[in-house]
Amino acid sequence: MNLTRISHLFRAYFIENKRRLLICCLAVFAAAVLDLTINRYATSSTILASFVAFVLAARIFQPSLKRNNSTHFFNLPVTTGEKLIVATVFVTVFSAVILLLYSAGAYTGYYGLCPILNPEASMYMERSLPIGLWDTQAYLYFAVVLSVLLFGSIYFKKNAFWKTFAAGIGFFIGVICYQIVLIRIAFGNFRDFSTELTLQLRDLEFVANYHTIPIIIILFFLSLTYLRLKETEV
């Protein structure tokens, strides 16, 4: 791993996309300010901030898979691991910036503009503010989605975001159907299954899994991304 090559690749990607990234940042901040100024809940800006971060993760490798760009990208004098590191760091940093701008905009609208422009709304009962900066569990699940979309970015040649989203829905529907059939065969009805599951969970120290399982999923999809990237290069 060469830090100089990584920094050059990181800088090149930022220069090529700086205008689009700036527009996304400004849009998220403005939407959060507006949302908490005129609305009671920060629902719309939350969706927008998440959507922007997810689309970036799903597009990080997409330009490199185009016929005109693929030869240049895959012949760069950098290793597969270095390309993956740059993509992962870029998605992580940009997502963190998006979340910070979203929080800053929401608090600006909540405490700054709302009492001035919408004093009636400022007298409401407790309103919904952005998630806390130390909500580790929420950020872990957010990172899981980013890692899945990062893999989709290199796996699908076009429309990676929507194809990954559709594949994820299909996967969960399949898992749910499999579980329903399995429960029916093993327990006969859901009441017996619920009772048995409750008794087993009481005997297990599974709290750590709330953090361990998302981390395992993130590492799994990063490994898949590396292997797919390596395969594409070959």
Q: Other CB atoms closer than 10 Å to residue 129's CB: what's the count?
A: 14
- What is the arithmetic mean of pLDDT over 112-140? 61
pLDDT at position 147: 92
Q: Which of 50, 48, 49, 62 is nearest to 17 (CA)?
A: 62
Handedness of CA 8, 221, 156, 145 (dihedral sign): negative
Q: What is the largest CA-CA distance in the chain?
A: 62
pLDDT digits (tens, 9 = 90+) for 55-111: 999 988 888 777 666 666 766 777 888 888 988 999 999 999 998 898 888 888 877
- Position 42 confidence tier, pLDDT thresholds 50, 70, 90: low
pLDDT digits (tens, 9 = 90+) for 127-143: 555 544 446 777 888 88
Q: Which of 124, 132, 135 is nearest to 37 (CA)?
A: 124
* Contact indicator for 38, 121 with CB cutoff of 8 Å: yes
Q: Other CB atoms closer than 10 Å to residue 168's CB: what's the count?
A: 14
pLDDT digits (tens, 9 = 90+) for 166-187: 998 888 888 777 766 766 666 5
**CA atoms of 111 and 176, how far apart (whole Å):** 43
pLDDT at position 13: 82
Range among 11-15, 106-110, 148-152 rated most confident: 148-152
